[in-house]
Amino acid sequence: MKFQVKLAQLYIMLIPFIAAFSLTPWLPLPLLYMMPISIYLIVIRRLKIFKEDLEIILMVIMGILGMFFAIDKLGVKNLNHTCAISTSIFLFYIVFKSLINKLKSINILASSFALSLAFVSIFIIIEFILSNYLGITISDFIPYSTTDELADATLMGSIIRPRGLAVEAGHMATFYELALPLSFIYLKDKPLPILLSYYLLVLSGYTLLFSAASFVALPLAILLSAVVRIRSKNSIVLVIGIVMITFIALSSDIARPYIDETVGVRLEIFLDPSQQSNTVTVNDRSEKYQKISNLFLVAPFGIGWGTGAQMAADQEVFAGIMMPEGGGFISLYGEILIASGVLGLLLFLRFITKKIIQLFRLSSLESQLVLIAVLSLSIHYLFISNYWFPMLWLSLGLADHVYKNEKFIA
């Protein structure tokens, strides 16, 4: 069992490498690492598929069946995307759950989350200093999983956003949504100076990513978790305190320009598309959400994994609808709806909602922190569609593990 723990800890250290040092966008280091782990678990007969996993497996199957509704549009991208969603769920969710199945507590993994998060934060801070003050682009020295030149993402006209170990800063923020809550399991008993120093470091790295979606998702997840757990006057006071501290922090003269240039500018573009200035704008996103709606109306049972990307590459239309550039829909839920239809999306929503409800019913610190991670990532994935990232699947695996352990003890 100690060997499996070490394997799981090393995997956690590799999770943020979702683009850096990857061979292709479809083969990041976490995926490559988990491939031999899956073989190892099969050999020692520890790989398990649980009853609660059937819904997510059925969702994938619905996306495969959806290809029959657009059979004349199929191509190689259908194979790529089907492999991507299948291997991501298998390796990042099913294999990971099997790897930690015998653990009595996830506490033993918390140190790896804390260490990995500290490393990522140092990397981001160094990248920010190099790019903004020394004119050094770190992607010139580190290979990233893209064949296209990585353009600098700027903010406030001149500030270059660090991308961390991802292609985009917003993608890197999803790792913080996973690891920030879970790192507290390890650090909660540390002396106050160590605790403050650690979170000063990691929150500095998180802030420099300027991720508008993450700055909404993570605080909202914390607030939802606190509100639902109101049990007494003390917990009501705690929720009111969180709200007041958040309001004061966001409305201060120091924080206001930062919020205006992240969340604020996105809302402004959404309300007035003429104000758009970023390469990927809120207006682009709203157009893609509209295409999701239009495609759903003409193909409620889906058109299969990768069909949208294939038609975008071939410049074909479906029922008079032109696919968005690249074929992506900027929302995991939209991707599932278009690929596997309304039935597939309902399966996924039921799958993820059950885990959230189960965590809400638990009272341990570990379950609360895993809940924050699951909620934050679930919200963030309204605005990104990268299902080949491990963060969401790993958080769902931890949710199952925590629930089963605490239910068994109870």
pLDDT in tens, 108-129: 999 999 999 999 999 999 999 9
Element (H, E) at 91: none
Residue-by-residue DSSP string for 118-152: HHHHHHHHHHHHHHHHS---GGGTS-BS-SS--PP
β-strand partners of 159: 155
**How far apart are the C-alpha atoms of 26 and 48, rounded to whole Å?**
25
DSSP designation for 52: G
Contact 329, 287 (CB under 8 A): no
pLDDT score, position 24: 76
With a CB cutoff of 8 Å and minimum separation 6, the contacts of 299 are 66, 69, 70, 318, 319, 338, 341
Domain count, the chain: 1
The yes-or-no verdict on residue 278 having pLDDT over 50 is: no
Return the pLDDT at 2. 87
Q: Which residue range forms the structural domain that includes residue 159?
A: 2-409
* 296-351 per-position pLDDT tens digit: 888 899 999 998 888 888 888 877 787 777 667 788 999 999 999 999 999 999 99
In the structure, what pLDDT confidence band is assigned to residue 237 with cuts at 50, 70 and 90? Answer: low
- Confirm if 304 and 64 have CB atoms less than 8 A apart: yes
Determine how β-strand 159-160 pairs with β-strand 154-155: antiparallel
Upper half-sphere CA count for residue 53 (Cβ side, 13 Å):
19
Parallel, antiparallel or unpaired: strands 317-318 and 321-322: antiparallel
Q: What SS3 state is found at 321?
A: strand
Q: Which of 285, 21, 278 is nearest to 161 (CA)?
A: 278
AA identity, residue 402: V
The single-letter code of the amino acid at 130 is: L
Residue 100: predicted pLDDT: 94
A 10 A CB-CB count for 196 gives: 11
Q: The tokens 């996993």 sit on which residue?
A: 53
3-state secondary structure of 184: helix
